[in-house]
Amino acid sequence: YKELRDTATINGVTTVQLNRHIKAQKTLQAIGGMDYHFVWVDRPFKFTAEAYYKAMSNLIPYTVDNVRIRYMGRNLADGYTAGLDMKLFGEFVQGTDSWISLSLMRSKETINGVTIPRPNEQRYNVSVFFQDYFPSDPRFTMSLKLIWADGLPFGPPDSDKSLATLRMAPYRRIDLGLSRVFSPENDAFMRRSFLRHTKQLWLGFDCFNLLNTLNVNSYYWITDFSNTQWAVPNYLTSRLFNLRLTAEF
Residues 174-218: pLDDT tens digits?
999 999 988 888 777 877 777 777 888 889 999 999 999 999 998
Contact 171/151 with Cβ under 8 angstroms? Answer: yes
**Is the pLDDT confidence value at 1 over 60?**
no
C-alpha span between 72 and 92 (Å, rounded):
49
Domain 25-248, second-level architecture: Beta Barrel (2.40)
pLDDT (0 to 100) of residue 131: 92
Highest mean pLDDT among 18-27, 65-74, 118-127, 148-157: 118-127
pLDDT (0 to 100) of residue 96: 85
pLDDT (0 to 100) of residue 137: 84
C-alpha span between 146 and 114 (Å, rounded):
36
pLDDT (0 to 100) of residue 214: 94
How many beta carbons lie within 10 A of that of residue 112, not counting itself?
9
C-alpha span between 214 and 80 (Å, rounded):
31
**Is the pLDDT confidence value at 85 over 90?**
yes
- Exposed/middle/buried for residue 59 (C-beta within 10 Å: 0-12, 13-18, 19+): buried
C-alpha span between 17 and 32 (Å, rounded):
41
Residue 2: band (very low, low, confident or very high) from pLDDT cuts 50, 70, 90? low
Collapsing DSSP to helix, strand or coil, 190 comes out as helix
